[in-house]
Amino acid sequence: MRRLWLIFAQAATVAVAVLFVLSTFRPEWLPSRSPSATITQSVSPVFTGAPRSASYSDAVQRASASVVNISTSKEVPAPRHPLLNDPVFRRFFGEQLPDEAQRASSLGSA
């Protein structure tokens, strides 16, 4: 029984691998999908009494007033190298090396 299961599992694995390779490199060799599998979308107007927009630019002009860009930046103290905390290193160089700050920034939109 176990041997029969192994043969089935190996055959199924090989079949899936062949299907993957064919769909990746030669999709025209596979039968096309039926039209019933396609997804259709219907777009309804935002306002019930408003006429439907015919172009993408009209929709962008209506929505552009609601788009906000947010940009922030701050100085973040950079972690010191562990060697700078070494007493022998401090003996020779002292506190000559100042702490460095890195500028972190982020950008977002809502």
Closest residue by Cα to residue 109 from 72, 57, 77, 84: 72
Closest residue by Cα to residue 78 from 99, 95, 92: 99
Cβ–Cβ under 8 Å, residues 50 and 58: no
Tens digits of pLDDT across the chain (110 residues): 889 999 999 999 999 999 999 889 888 888 876 555 455 555 555 555 555 646 788 877 777 777 677 778 888 887 777 777 778 877 777 766 666 778 887 766 65
